[in-house]
Amino acid sequence: MSAAISFVLTPMLRRVGLKFAHRQVVRSRDIHTNIMPRLGGVAMLLAVSAGLALASKIPFTTGIFTQERLWMGIFAALAIILVMGVLDDLFDLPWWVKILGQIGASLVVALNGIRIQAMPVGWIHITDYWMQILLTVILIVGTMNAFNFVDGLDGLATGMTVIGGSAFFVYTYLLTRSINEYDFSNVATLLMAVLIGAAAGFLPHNFYPARIFMGEVGSTLLGFTMAIAAILVTADVGALDGFRFRNVPAYMPILLPISVMLVPIIDMLVTVTRRTARGVSPFSADRGHLHHKLIDGGYNHPQAVWVLYAWSAVVAFGAVALNFIPWTTWVPIWAVLIAGCILLTIGPWLQKRYRLAKVRRRRKLLQRQRAERQMR
């Protein structure tokens, strides 16, 4: 239902966005040279909200919605994301205003029960309430910006959400089945289901050549939902302690969320480090993201997207596969797949170096032949 609603609403939001497109300008870092409506994220957010509303009426998932305070926090945060995102998509707000909005949305869910209560490496308990709030806000805001940074090519952030979210969905569902013998419903699993649906419904309109962008609403929604789902998975320390001794390695609750969001996280860390080293704001836009590097290296627009899709699939589903396949069998296979992704990524650079080396050899040969003729 989320996919259907997102698919149907997106063309409507495109028509609305076109009416405000004259306010936009083509920036130097943009891949496109034409103005594009940016309100696609509104369709996704409405689809997510409608999917959750529908789930509250389905007997299988009604038990999830007994936590009224938690859901009040989630829907209040979605409202903040919607308002701030639309304002930015229409009027291009300063970066610090957007950060304040992200902090506000994060605080709302943290104060209503979605908090980091333990570090899932060794299950170190965090007992201080305000430390839980602080860590939760940092994680959510960081993840929002990670998806914002990676949203630079047609269909990139959307497709990576479908791929990574599907891996996360499989993991959270199997975790819930293993912990609870009678109730397989779970907040994190439900959030992943509606997010995957909303992204999948939007993707046909956003894939190359895109007819609409997700904008600030969309990228913030993706990061927000992924972050709170990751927090919810690691929040129940007792359940995880019981689960870790069954069929999943103890490090999975921290490995899986990281693996799902690995490409956006790496892109954000590299970008922030590069901008800070140059002495500019980490939020100042430039043309140095991973997808820009792939295009500058020789890939065309859709090829760069597929390369990053491959990385998302190999890393996310590779981590999930550790639950089903003995690590002694799977890790070598996983290593080969990662090596294949590395070769795929650097392929254009290798080809370029080979061509340059070939040109240099030919030039040296011509110079040597010319020198021999002069000697004769």
Q: Is residue 303 part of a domain?
A: no
Cα-atom radius of gyration of the chain, to the nearest Å?
23
Q: Is residue 367 part of a domain?
A: no
Query: Would you say 219 and 156 are in contact if contact means Cβ atoms under 8 Å apart?
Result: no
Residue in the block written with tokens 């894939």: 207
Query: Which residues span the domain enclosing 182?
Result: 2-286
Question: What residue ranges of the chain have pLDDT lower than 70?
Answer: 22-33, 119-124, 235-257, 281-289, 291-292
Residue in the block written with tokens 């990574």: 164
Specify the amino acid at residue 164: G
The pLDDT score that the predictor gives to residue 192 is 94
Residue in the block written with tokens 């009224």: 68
Q: Is residue 102 part of a domain?
A: yes
Burial class, 298, CB count within 10 angstroms (exposed 0-12 / middle 13-18 / buried 19+) = middle
* CA distance readout (Å), 273 to 134, 260, 283, 285, 346: 22, 22, 11, 13, 22
Q: Is residue 324 part of a domain?
A: no
Residue in the block written with tokens 């990053």: 308
Structural tokens at position 302: 């859709």
> Which pTM value belongs to this model?
0.85
Task: Say how many domains are in the chain.
Answer: 1
CA distance 274 to 353: 25
Residue in the block written with tokens 């789902």: 229
Write a three-state SS string for the chain: CHHHHHHHHHHHHHHHHHHCHHHCCCCCCCCCCCCCCCCHHHHHHHHHHHHHHHHCCCCCCHHHHHCHHHHHHHHHHHHHHHHHHHHHHHHCCCHHHHHHHHHHHHHHHHHCCCCCCEECCCCEECCCHHHHHHHHHHHHHHHHHHHHHHCCCCCHHHHHHHHHHHHHHHHHHHHHHHHCCCCCCCHHHHHHHHHHHHHHHHHHHHCCCCCCCCHHHHHHHHHHHHHHHHHHHHHCHHHHHHHCCCCCCCCHHHHHHHHHCHHHHHHHHHHHHHHHHCCCCCCCCCCCCHHHHHHHHCCCHHHHHHHHHHHHHHHHHHHHHCCCCCHHHHHHHHHHHHHHHHHHHHHHHHHHHHHHHHHHHHHHHHHHHHHHHHHC
**End-to-end Cα, the chain, rounded Å:** 82
- Per-residue pLDDT of 116-131, as tens digits, reads 887 655 556 788 899 9
The pLDDT score that the predictor gives to residue 320 is 84
Q: Give the length of the chain.
A: 376
Q: Is residue 198 part of a domain?
A: yes
Q: Is residue 298 part of a domain?
A: no
Q: Is residue 319 part of a domain?
A: no
Q: Is residue 369 part of a domain?
A: no
The pLDDT score that the predictor gives to residue 163 is 93
CA distance 259 to 304: 20
Burial class, 309, CB count within 10 angstroms (exposed 0-12 / middle 13-18 / buried 19+) = middle
Query: Would you say 281 and 95 are in contact if contact means Cβ atoms under 8 Å apart?
Result: yes
The pLDDT score that the predictor gives to residue 223 is 92
Residues 6+ apart with CB under 8 A from 88: 97, 98, 215, 216
The pLDDT score that the predictor gives to residue 250 is 46
Residues 6+ apart with CB under 8 A from 50: 1, 2, 5
- Per-residue pLDDT of 78-101, as tens digits, reads 999 999 999 998 888 888 999 999
